[in-house]
């Protein structure tokens, strides 16, 4: 891909057009050769010309330009290689070694999980603040991710990563050394998500999908930075409460849940605003969410000493 010999790691996610007019593949790989390194790839192959295939190639082009401009900034992946022709587009971005948000905080299976102990809640809030910072950098460049999931956030940590299990995610008695390793380095977005991708109804992963992503085009719907605010807030709420926020309205305040740690009032209020079904009522800037996460982590740190 893009002139680099690559070895796939696992099965890529693959989508195909009608009658195989186009193929889109995304996944993990490792560049082999003199300078081996892990990468995340997006590969588009257009077999028959058409609007959708052209749009996919344009997306690769847009993300290549965006990574060339802001790639490598704190929290964002860096560009390794790219290639664009009339029928093929390839993007390779650096993939940091580490565990994903899902590996560390869940959810794994089932979707309902026990709330974390206080140490893990502090780590989750600090990581969430780092994710918000990375998304803010993307927003300030005029783009939004719109596909944030627990798999799209990488937590680089020293030492060999240990896979999580349903027994350890959210468990009590968390090893302080493990938590320190999780939060010792800045978190990184695995990829640019849907940045530079044309907005469509039903876009992005269904997990933590914002309401406006399902009804794009209806009056009042807005897809953009406030969509990222919703998705990240939903991930954080699920990780803290052990239950994903419902789709019928605002979830219960965290302070009303039976959690093994205290919740700062400001964090609770900002989370509920961020999870409003109407994007216009959410915080316009994701740094508001980042500040609330840090305040919540500071509050927990003070109460644990």
The tens-digit pLDDT sequence of the chain (305 residues) is: 999 999 999 999 999 999 999 999 999 999 998 889 999 999 999 999 899 999 999 999 999 999 999 999 989 999 999 999 999 999 999 998 889 999 999 997 666 788 999 999 999 999 999 999 999 999 999 999 999 999 999 998 654 434 444 444 444 344 555 566 666 678 999 999 999 988 877 888 999 999 999 876 655 667 899 999 999 999 999 999 999 998 777 899 999 999 999 999 999 999 999 999 999 999 999 999 999 999 999 999 998 76
Same domain, 182 and 295: yes
Last residue of a domain, one of 94, 128, 143: 94
pLDDT at 200: 77
Same domain, 179 and 299: yes
- Does residue 286 fall inside a structural domain? yes
Smallest CA-to-CA distance from 82 within 98, 102, 99, 67 is with 67
| Tally: H helices and E strands in the chain | 8, 8
H-state helical runs in 242-285: 265-274
pLDDT at 220: 60
Q: What is the CATH number of the domain that holds 119?
A: 1.10.510.10
- Does residue 50 fall inside a structural domain? yes
**Separation of alpha carbons 143 and 84, rounded Å:** 21
Angle between helices 265-274 and 225-241 (to 10 degrees): 130
Under 8 Å between Cβ of 127 and 148: no
Same domain, 89 and 104: no
pLDDT at 183: 60
Same domain, 47 and 104: no
Under 8 Å between Cβ of 143 and 195: yes
- Does residue 1 fall inside a structural domain? no
Same domain, 249 and 152: yes
pLDDT at 304: 74
Structural domain containing residue 204: 99-304
Domain count, the chain: 2
CB atoms within 10 A of CB 33: 9
Last residue of a domain, one of 63, 78, 94: 94
Smallest CA-to-CA distance from 170 within 233, 246, 101 is with 101
**Separation of alpha carbons 117 and 174, rounded Å:** 7
pLDDT at 159: 45
**Separation of alpha carbons 182 and 204, rounded Å:** 27
Same domain, 179 and 288: yes
Same domain, 150 and 87: no
Strands of 22-31's sheet in order across: 6-16, 22-31, 37-46, 88-94, 79-84
pLDDT at 109: 65
Same domain, 179 and 30: no
Last residue of a domain, one of 68, 94, 120: 94
pLDDT at 54: 93
- Does residue 203 fall inside a structural domain? yes
**Count of all residues that appear for the chain in the document:** 305
Same domain, 298 and 227: yes
pLDDT at 173: 41
Same domain, 58 and 106: no
Smallest CA-to-CA distance from 77 within 141, 152, 24, 144 is with 152
Q: What is the CATH number of the domain that holds 14?
A: 3.30.200.20
- Does residue 111 fall inside a structural domain? yes
What's the first-to-final CA gap in the chain, in angstroms? 52
* Rounded (10°) CA dihedral 171, 176, 180, 183: 20
pTM of the model: 0.90
- Does residue 119 fall inside a structural domain? yes
Same domain, 12 and 38: yes
């Amino acid at each position: 891909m893009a002139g680099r010999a690559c070895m796939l790691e696992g099965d890529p996610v693959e989508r195909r057009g009608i009658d195989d007019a186009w193929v889109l593949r995304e996944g993990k790989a490792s560049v082999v050769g003199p300078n081996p390194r892990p990468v995340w790839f997006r590969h588009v192959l257009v077999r028959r010309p058409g609007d959708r295939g052209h749009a996919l190639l344009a997306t690769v082009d847009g993300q290549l330009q965006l990574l060339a401009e802001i790639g490598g900034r704190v929290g964002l992946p860096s560009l390794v290689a790219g290639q664009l022709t009339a029928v093929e587009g390839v993007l390779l971005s650096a993939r940091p070694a580490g565990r994903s948000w899902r590996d560390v905080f869940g959810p794994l299976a089932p979707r309902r999980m026990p709330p974390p102990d206080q140490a893990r809640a502090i780590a989750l809030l600090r990581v969430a603040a780092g994710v918000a910072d990375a998304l803010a950098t993307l927003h300030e460049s005029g783009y939004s991710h719109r596909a944030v999931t627990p798999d799209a956030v990488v937590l680089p940590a020293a030492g060999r990563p240990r896979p999580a299990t349903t027994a350890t995610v959210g468990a009590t008695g968390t090893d302080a050394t493990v938590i320190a390793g999780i939060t010792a380095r800045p978190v990184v977005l695995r990829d640019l998500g849907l940045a530079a991708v044309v907005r469509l109804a039903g876009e992005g992963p269904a997990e933590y999908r914002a309401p406006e992503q399902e009804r794009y085009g209806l009056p009042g719907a807005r897809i953009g930075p406030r969509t990222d605010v919703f998705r990240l807030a939903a991930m954080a709420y699920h990780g803290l409460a052990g239950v994903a926020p419902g789709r019928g309205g605002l979830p219960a305040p965290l302070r009303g849940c039976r959690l093994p740690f205290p919740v700062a009032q400001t964090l609770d209020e900002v989370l509920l605003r961020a999870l409003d079904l109407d994007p216009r009522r959410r915080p316009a800037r994701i740094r508001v969410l980042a500040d609330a996460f840090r305040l919540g982590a500071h509050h927990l740190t003070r109460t644990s000493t």
